[in-house]
Structure 1
Amino acid sequence: MDQQQQAHILLFPFPALGHIKPLLSLAELLCHAGLHVTFLNTDHNHRCLTHLQPLSTHFPTLRFESISDGLPTDHPRNVQLVGDLIFSVKSVTKPRFRDLLADLSTKSEHPVTCVIADGIMSFAIDIAKELGVRAMTFWAFSPCGLWSFLCMPKLIEEGQLPVGGEGDDMDQMVRSVPGMESILRRRDLPDICRQQVDDPLFQFFVEEFKAITRTSALILNSFDQLEALTLSHIDPLFSRIYTIGPLTALLTSRIAHDVSRSLSSFNNLCEADRSCMTWLDSQPLRSVVYVSFGSTGMMTRGQLFEFWHGLINSGKPFLWVVRQDGIAGVEGEHAIPEELHEGTKDRGFLVDWAPQEEVLAHQAVGGFLTHNGWNSTLEGIVAGVPMLCWPTIADQHINSRWVSEVWRIGLDMKDTCDRSTIEMMIRAMMEERREEITKSMDRIAKLAYDSANQGGSSYHNLDKLIEDIKKKV
C-alpha cells in the first residue's frame, strides 16, 4: 500500500455540537483526499447522529466509533451542567480511549497513524504519544479566544482574575494580553474568568490551556487574513499551525458534489425544521432578522420575553430558533409559552431548530442575532450577514468584541437584555448602521472566500496538512 492508503486519522471532538460540527467537516475533507478516517463520538452523541451511518457508502474510507462519556442516559448534558460532562469524560472516557486507540493502532486493517483531538481533550493527545501515535490538536474556538485563554496564567499571577465581582469596573481595559491592550475589556474575557480561580472548572481550563502546547501541531478553523495579529502571538508556541477555515467555505470550494450527500448537511444533533425556508421565500429582500443562540445556549423565561418584545417592537420580520431545552428551569411542551407563538404570527416565525447555513445564505435574511459561537460567527461571515451579538459562554464574549470593534461587521450587546436595548440595536443593525456594517462585512466575506479557494491561504494550508499526515511526520 502507498502512504496515502495507509494514513489513518482518528478524530475525537469534545462531546458538544459546536465541537463535533467542524471536525465532521474536516473528516469529509480528509476522506475526499483519500485518507482513512475514524470519527469517535460519545455513545450519547453517536445515537443522536445515527442518520450519519448511511453516508459511509459515499465515504468508503470513513467509519464511526463511539465511547462512553460516563454519564447516565437521562443526564441532560446541557451547558448548565457542563462540569459533569467535563469531569466524567476525564475520569471515565480517558482509560476507555486508551484501550480503543491501542486496538485501532495494532489490530485494525489500517492502523491509526494520527490522532486529531479537541483542544480541551488533552488526555487524548497524551495517550496518543504514549502509544507512539502522532497527535494534533483541533481548536474549535476562535484564535483570539485561544490567545486570551493562553494568557490566563499571567492574568492570575497579576491578580486580574476573577472579574465581575462587586464594584468591578467591567469596562476597564485588560493590558496583559499582548496585541489586545487597546481592545479587550474585562467584560470581554471568556466567561470562565468570572469564576473564582480555585473553582475546579476554572482550574480544569487553566490546565488544559497549559497542555495544549504539548501537541505536535495546532489546527485552527480560521484564516490568516482575519486574525493575523493574534496568530503572530500564538505561532511561536507551536511547531506547526494550520489555519484551514472557514471550513464551511473550504468544503464548498474543494468538494463538488450533491450537498445532500455531504457530512456537513447531516452534522446536527437536532433535526432542522425546513418549513422556515418556505416562510423566508415569502419575505422581502434583506428584511428578516435571524435569531439563534446555538445548540447549548440557555436563557431564562424573563430573557425570552425581553427578546420577544424587542423583536416585535423593532418592526422587523424575524425567524427565531427557540429550542425546547433552551429555557432554564422549564421542560417539556410548556417550555415555550403559547402567547409567544400567538404574538409572532403576523411578523415572526418560530422553529425548534433551523438549517442555519441555508438560512443565512437566503436573500431575505438581513441580520443575524447570535450568541457568537465560533461556528456561527464564521457562518455569518461566509454568508456576509451583519451580526448583533449576545454572548453567554466560552469564547463568545471575545468573539463579539472582535465582531464589533476589530472587524466592524456587527454590534455587541453583551451583558444586557432589556427590550428597549434589543429594539434599538436591531434597528441600528438593520437601518442606521446598516451601510457601514455591510461595507465591512463585504470586505471580510471576500477575504474568507479568497482564503478558501484555490490559491488562498486556507486552501494551501489544508494541502499542507494532508501532505504532512501522509508523511506521518
Structure 2
Amino acid sequence: MAPMDAPHVVILPFPAQGHIKPMLKLAELLSQAGFTVSFVNSDHNHHRIDQTAAFRRHFPGIKFLSIPDGLPPDHRRTGLAALDLFFSTTTFCKPIFKNLIASMSHAPSCIISDGIMSFAIDVAEELGIPAITFRTYSATCTWTYFHLHKLIQEGEIPVLIEGSEDMDRLISCIPGLENIMRRRDLPSICRLDPQNQILQFYMTQTSKMRKASALILNTFEELEAPIISLLHSIFPTVYAIGPLHTALKSSAVHNSGPYNSSSLMPFDESCMEWLNSQNLKSVLYVSFGTVVSLSRDQLMEFWYGLVNSDKPFLWAVRPDLIWDENGPGEVPEELKMGTKKRGRIVGWAPQEDVLAHNAIGGFLTHSGWNSTLESITAGKPMICWPILADQQVNGRCVSEMWKVGLDMKDVCDRSTVEKMVRGLMEGRHEEVTKSTNEIARLAQDSVREGGSSHRNINKLIEDIKLLHATNNASKGNK
C-alpha cells in the first residue's frame, strides 16, 4: 500500500473491456512506481470483477471504486446495445463522479480519463485537479478523429457503401495520411449522416479532449512517429507508452501471474494444451473481440472459409457473438467434421498467451487496437476484418502503412476467407513476413530499459510526481 503522501492518480476508463484493459495496465505500472491508484469502473463491471476470484489478486496495489453507468442492470451492454453507454455515461455520470472525487480523503494529484469520458476533464477543471486524457486508439486513428469536422466540410462524410463507385478514392484532407487513407478506411462512424448522434458524440468528445494537459497513447514511437509528431500540434505533451501489455511484462516487479489477468471474461485454458499439440506456426487464431457481433450468414461464411482452407484454426466464439435471436442454428455436418479434424472452438481464449504461442502462425481479427498491438508485438501477421469504430483505420495501417497483414474489410465470403487464410499461413506474402518480424522487434525494444516507451513511461511518472509536489506546495502556501 502506498503511503498517504504518495501521488494519487484516479483513472476512469470507458466501461468496455477494450478500454479497461490498457488503462488497467497503466494503473498497475503507476502502482508499481509507488503511487496510490484509484480505478473507477462502472457498477456493472465492478460486479463482474467481484465474480472473478483471481482478478483483484493480480492488482493488490489498486483501489477499485465504481459509479453507476446510467443503464438498468439487465441491459446487454454488448454489440450494438453497447452504444447506449455513450449517452448514458455522458448524461448521468458527471455529478456522481464529481462527488466521488470531492469526497476522497487523499486528494488526487491528477485524473487520467478515457478520451470518450471527457466529463471527467470538466470535473477536474471544476475541482482544480490536473487532467490527462488517455485515448485507447492508435495515434493514426486519434489524429483522424480530430479531422471529423474537416471530413464533413469536404463532403467525405457520409461514406456511402451501397452503389458507391469511389470507396477506394484517397482522402486528401487529413495531413500526413494523404496517400494512405481511402474513403472505405475511415472510421465506421463516417458511414453515418453528419447529424447522427453517434457521430456527434465522437466529435464532441474529441473536441473536449483538447482541454486536457496531455495525451496518453498505447502505441510506440517507432510505429507511429510521424502522426505522434502531428498530435503535438494539439497537445503540448504526448506520452506514447505502449505496447502496455509488454511494458508490464518487462517490468522488473511484474508478478508471475498470467498476462491476461485484466480480462473481465473467463477463459477456456484447455486451448493452450491443444496448441501444445500443434506444429510450429501452423494454427490460425480467430477472434472478433468483445463487442463485434456477427449475423448467422457471416458466421457461416467464416466457418466454411476456415474449414475449406485446410489449415488448423483456434476460434474464440464468445456466447453473444451471434446477434441472430436463434443463434447459429443447425450447423452443417461438414463444418462439424472439418472443425473436429483440424480446428478448436472455445468460448473465450487467453489472447496474449495464445498469440505468443509458437504454434500460432497468423491472426484473423476484427482489428481492435488492443488485438492489433498484441499481434504486432507477438510477431504474428494479420488478416483484418474491421467492422466498428477505429477498426477500419487499423486495418489500413496494418496492410499499407506497416505491412504486417492483409485487409479484408467490406468483404465476407467463404472463398475470400479461404484464399486469404491459405496465402497468409503458407507464407506467400514475403513483405508481410519481413515487416512483421522487424516491427515485433521494435515493439519489444521500445519497452526495454532505454527504449522510447520506457523513457516515456518514466517521464509520465516524473511529471505526475511534479504535479503532486506543486499541488502540495500550493496548499502549504495557503
TM (norm. structure 1) is: 0.94
Q: Using the TM superposition, give the Cα deviation of residue 79 of structure 1 relative to its aligned residue in structure 2, in angstroms.
A: 2.8
Residue matched to 1:374: 369
Q: Given residue 130 of structure 2, which amino acid in structure 1 is its aligned partner?
A: R
Supply the RMSD in Å over aligned alpha carbons: 1.9
Indicate yes or no: 2:125 matched with 1:129. Answer: yes
Residue matched to 2:280: 285
How do residues 170-209 of structure 1 correspond to structure 2 at under 5 angstroms? Answer: 170-209=167-206
Contact 1:67 1:97 (8 Å CA) reproduced: yes
Residue matched to 2:110: 114
How do residues 295-310 of structure 1 correspond to structure 2 at under 5 angstroms? Answer: 295-310=290-305
Deviations 1:133-191 (A, max 9, x none): 11100110111101111011111112221102543221111110111111100000000
Tell me the distance in 1 between the aligned counterparts of 2:323 and 2:56: 37
Contact 1:317 1:347 (8 Å CA) reproduced: yes
Residue matched to 1:274: 269
TM (norm. structure 2) is: 0.93
Q: Report the CA distance shift for 1:60/1:471 in structure 2 as closer, same or farther (over 3 A).
A: farther
Residue matched to 1:215: 212
Indicate yes or no: 2:278 matched with 1:259. Answer: no
Deviations 1:241-288 (A, max 9, x none): 11100001111111444331x6x5321121010010011011111000
Q: Report the CA distance shift for 1:57/1:310 in structure 2 as closer, same or farther (over 3 A).
A: closer
Contact 2:32 2:253 (8 Å CA) reproduced: no
How do residues 292-331 of structure 1 correspond to structure 2 at under 5 angstroms? Answer: 292-330=287-325
Tell me the distance in 2 between the aligned counterparts of 1:336 and 1:130: 57
Contact 1:5 1:35 (8 Å CA) reproduced: no
Contact 1:324 1:336 (8 Å CA) reproduced: no
Q: Report the CA distance shift for 1:401/1:336 in structure 2 as closer, same or farther (over 3 A).
A: farther
Aligned residue for 1:65, secondary structure, equals strand
Pick from 244, 247, 252 the counterpart of residue 241 of structure 2. Answer: 244
How many residues align? The count is 465
Q: Report the CA distance shift for 1:277/1:55 in structure 2 as closer, same or farther (over 3 A).
A: closer
Q: Report the CA distance shift for 1:275/1:162 in structure 2 as closer, same or farther (over 3 A).
A: same
Tell me the distance in 2 between the aligned counterparts of 1:95 and 1:285: 54
Tell me the distance in 1 between the aligned counterparts of 2:401 and 2:275: 31
Indicate yes or no: 2:358 matched with 1:363. Answer: yes
Q: Using the TM superposition, give the Cα deviation of residue 331 of structure 1 relative to its aligned residue in structure 2, in angstroms.
A: 6.1
Tell me the distance in 2 between the aligned counterparts of 1:341 and 1:383: 30
Q: Using the TM superposition, give the Cα deviation of residue 436 of structure 1 relative to its aligned residue in structure 2, in angstroms.
A: 2.7
Contact 1:173 1:181 (8 Å CA) reproduced: yes
Residue matched to 1:445: 440
Q: Report the CA distance shift for 1:33/1:336 in structure 2 as closer, same or farther (over 3 A).
A: farther
Aligned residue for 1:252, secondary structure, equals helix
Contact 2:76 2:82 (8 Å CA) reproduced: no
Q: Report the CA distance shift for 1:459/1:309 in structure 2 as closer, same or farther (over 3 A).
A: same
Q: Given residue 63 of structure 1, which amino acid in structure 2 is its aligned partner?
A: K
Contact 2:260 2:353 (8 Å CA) reproduced: no
Indicate yes or no: 2:31 matched with 1:34. Answer: no
Q: Given residue 37 of structure 1, which amino acid in structure 2 is its aligned partner?
A: V
Aligned residue for 2:160, secondary structure, equals coil
In the alignment, structure 1 segments of 5+ residues that lack a partner are: none
Percent identity for Structure 1 against Structure 2: 52
Deviations 1:105-145 (A, max 9, x none): xxx2x221211000111111111111111110011011110
Q: Report the CA distance shift for 1:85/1:335 in structure 2 as closer, same or farther (over 3 A).
A: farther
Tell me the distance in 1 between the aligned counterparts of 2:58 and 2:69: 29
Deviations 1:59-82 (A, max 9, x none): 554200011011111111113123
